[in-house]
Amino acid sequence: MRGRLWLTIALCSLGAAPALPAAVEVTTGPTPIPGGSARAPGDLTVRNEHLAFALSVESPVPYGVPRGALVDLAPVSGGTIGHDRVVFADFIPNNWSAWPNTYQRVEILERDPERARIRAVRDFGSVRLETTYTLRAGSDRIELSARMSNEGDTPLSHLLSGFTLWPSSGYLFPVPGLAQLNEGAATGALAPRVSAYDAGWSITLHAPYLDHVGSHSRDLFLTHDLAPGQSRSFEAWLQVSDRGDLAPVLAAEIARAGTQPGRVQGSVRDRAGQPLDAPVVVIEKSGVPFAWTLGASGHYALELAAGDYDAYASGPNYSRSPSRHLSVAAGGDYVVDFAGLGAPAELDFHVREAASGRPLDARITITGGAAPVVEYLGRKTFFTELRRIGEARVPIAPGRYRFSVSSGAGVLARDVEVGREVAPGQRASVPVRIRRLFDPPAHGWYAADLHHHADQAEAVTPPEDLARSQLAAGLDVLFVSDHDATVNHPALRRLARERGVPFIAGIEISPSWGHFNAYPLPPGAELAIDTSTASAADVLREARREGATIVQVNHPFIPYGYFASVEAGTAPGGFVPDFDLIEINSNNPADDARVLERAYRYWNARQHYYLSAGSDTHDVWNEQSGRVRMFAHLAGAPSAEAFAAALKAGHAYATYGPLIEPSVMFGASLRPAAGAPFVLDFALGSVRGLREAVLVGDGAVCQRRTFDGALRGRARFGLRGGEAHWYALTVEDTAGRKAYSDPIWVTTADPAAR
């Protein structure tokens, strides 16, 4: 029975952030963890002197995962619970597929001052899934154990199962050795762990079973099969600290291995010989970042397993020291000092349009130079201000840098490269001139990134920074679609009014078997369904109830995309046709061909499901807004309603870069007589130069036009009535970036009827 506790427990009166004793406590009710999402009367919170975590016994779980999962986790410092730092940190049976699921129950197996142990049991199809959470007095980690048992008659193959860590703030330090890997085999991993962190906290997931990572190391999976009657167990740990320091993580790994470490300690000083208040010493192994320690008052210390390492020191916006090689032996004691660190500097960027001199919104990224591994030491991406357009004050460590300054995300103008030598303590002015090559709004074309997150769930972009990023990308319409949340709508409405641009309020309704953007929503709209139990029909009906004109199927062919789930039989209620748009998602460009093939199939059946496009940005400092976008043609003044109406009418195209202006509007209908000639003419452009335009009719390539890299060109196609029922255009530039149009419909007229 959903939400029922299978052991009677005492109900405690919980205040916000209380002082804590050293003993382990288990309480029921809304969690005392500040910012926590376990808010129901039957939810459980477990805590000791180091950490607190909450299980959603009755509260909905993010992403439509069944109840009985860890949804809140925070450090405890000085007896006070810190802010919740996770969206979800629990076991996933098969790459974020949680269906089919029919029951879950939570029971407290043990609760005394020395230890608490809780078990959650649920099904995943024919699999019985048991997850146990153990917290001991004095421990800085939660012991996690999951057991999958196949109770059916069918073997399960190619499962991706394991624990995940999805932080709600801060930064992510991926599996050491796999920083560049989004999804794939964990070959080359130097340690089976991932850490979320900021200066005042860290959470590390240790997963010794690891052989596959997903979602840039947020998912630590094992690839395996599960035969009928077979069981498999997974052991992991969530280690929590109230400092952004990975020295305790290294100590835990050494203790688990049962080996004797070496001890490394020393001082860190600047060029004036003064100790740094909060020095950071970064440890590299096999040439890649492995861990770091956060010191105090100019001193640091940590333990390392026997082996070879390199180390360097830095501090907030300080230069980094030269690297020192360390050969650490078991039981060794080493003093390694670092000195000569350059003091923080500051650059003032002034970004202007080259021809007119008007200030431009811009994104400034360090592309060459020492971007810090420990991200709370200094950012690598900056934006111009909202209210002082074109101005950005950039705190930075001294050194030699290359910056890329972008206004329009490479769609409206070429990025400008700027080199600078920055001296310790220097403050300097950096003028930047960017030539805008295209002005689509002058021809009625307006752009939006129709899949973009702010700071809800795992996203970490506050509303003001979302606006700065989207405006820097040259987008004409602000847009947000947070997971199952509308809390950021009021702030973005205000920011859009300040800048005089339209705002489209959206929500990403996020069950585990498919995600859907619903927009534009009126003020006050909120999600009113439980995504862990809702069917496909429930979700689509809820989108309309909230007032959405558009329902968009997001990333439809990823493992938990709606179309993929329908094909796999895991979408409850199966296929429901009440949606409008199908997304081109820049995180999944390999799926573009499948999205187009599905769209062509609909168009061949005369079904008016059109395209959409979104970047799915969660973190504007590490992902670029508008790297794919949707241009819609508006006859009058731009507004959320007009933009949505144009999308629904098919007056739009998706693009990674190339620009299109058709002679016949996309989504419009022509009626040539059978055999009568007619022409489709397209004006094209790309800041990277044009390569090819391909006209598709009824899903097959009809004609091609090639270009020699010119910034502008025309593609003119002579056609005859009756050759195809619809035509769409694909354009590619010299960088391989593409644009995909909605169709132009053709109905052949019967000459005898005229």
Continuous segment of H or E residues that includes residue 600: helix 592-604
What confidence score (pLDDT) does residue 750 get? Answer: 60
Work out the pLDDT band at 268, boundaries 50, 70, 90. very high
CA distance 166 to 84: 12
CA angle 215, 221, 224 (to 5 degrees): 135
Domains of the chain: 25-241 (2.70.98.10), 247-341 (2.60.40.1120), 345-434 (2.60.40.1120), 440-656 (3.20.20.140), 657-754 (2.60.40.1930)
- Taking alpha carbons only, the member of 535, 550, 444, 468 closest to residue 505 is 550
Q: What's the mean per-residue pLDDT of the chain?
A: 95
Share of the chain above pLDDT 90, in %: 94
* CA dist list (Å): 506 to 118, 488, 576, 613: 37, 10, 21, 14
Residue 20 has pLDDT above 80, yes or no: no
Amino acid type, 476:
D
Contact 656, 737 (CB under 8 A): yes
Residue 5: is its pLDDT beyond 60? no
Q: What is the pLDDT of residues 127-153, one digit of tens each?
A: 999 999 999 999 999 999 999 999 999
Residues 362-388 have pLDDT tens digits of 999 999 998 899 999 999 999 999 999
Q: How far is CA 470 from CA 357, 359, 474, 629, 630, in A?
A: 21, 16, 7, 11, 13
pLDDT at res. 751? 54
Of all helices (H) and strands (E), which one includes residue 135? strand 127-136
12, pLDDT greater than 50: no
- Measured from the Cβ of residue 483, the count of other Cβ atoms closer than 10 Å reads 21
Per DSSP, the residues of 155-219 read -EEEEEEEEE-EESSSEEE-STT-TT-SSEE-TT-SSSEEEEEETTEEEEEE-TT--EEETTTTE
Cβ atoms of 284 and 292 within 8 Å: the answer is no
Is-contact 214 178, C-beta < 8 A? no
Global pTM value: 0.91
- With bands split at pLDDT 50, 70 and 90, how would you rate the model's confidence at 584? very high
Q: Are 732 and 655 in contact (CB under 8 A)?
A: no
pLDDT of 754 higher than 70: no
Mean pLDDT of 76-97: 95
**Residue 100 has what pLDDT?**
80
Whether residue 11 has pLDDT greater than 80: no
Average pLDDT over residues 566-580: 95
pLDDT average, residue stretch 14-35: 77
pLDDT tens digits for range 609-647: 999 999 999 999 999 999 999 999 999 999 999 999 999
pLDDT score for 606: 97
pLDDT in tens, 210-262: 999 999 999 999 999 999 999 999 999 999 999 999 999 999 999 999 999 99
- Which of 456, 525, 520, 527 is closest to 488 using CA atoms? 456
Q: For residue 565, how many other CB atoms are within 10 A of its CB? A: 25
Percent of the chain with pLDDT over 70: 96
Confidence of residue 458 (pLDDT cuts 50, 70, 90): very high
> Given a cut of 80, is residue 6 above it in pLDDT?
no
Span 673-695, pLDDT tens digits: 999 999 999 999 999 999 999 99
Per-residue pLDDT of 337-346, as tens digits, reads 999 999 999 9
Backbone angles phi, psi at 532, to 5 degrees: -80, -15
In angstroms, the CA 547 to CA 523 distance is: 10
Question: Is residue 338 within 8 Å of residue 281, measured between CB atoms?
Answer: yes
pLDDT at 749 over 80: no
Looking at residue 371, what is its pLDDT? 83
User: Would the CA dihedral through 649, 655, 657, 661 be positive or negative?
Assistant: negative
Tell which residue, 513, 548, 543, has the closest CA to residue 529: 543
Cα–Cα nearest to 299, from 277, 270, 282, 326: 277
C-alpha span between 697 and 598 (Å, rounded): 14
| Cβ contact 662:741 at 8 Å | yes
What local confidence, expressed as pLDDT, does residue 748 receive? 85
- Predicted confidence at residue 752, as pLDDT, reads 52
List CB contacts of 753: < 8 A, sequence separation 6 or more.
none
Q: What would the two tokens of residue 447 be?
A: 């752009």
What is the average per-residue pLDDT within 14-22?
A: 47
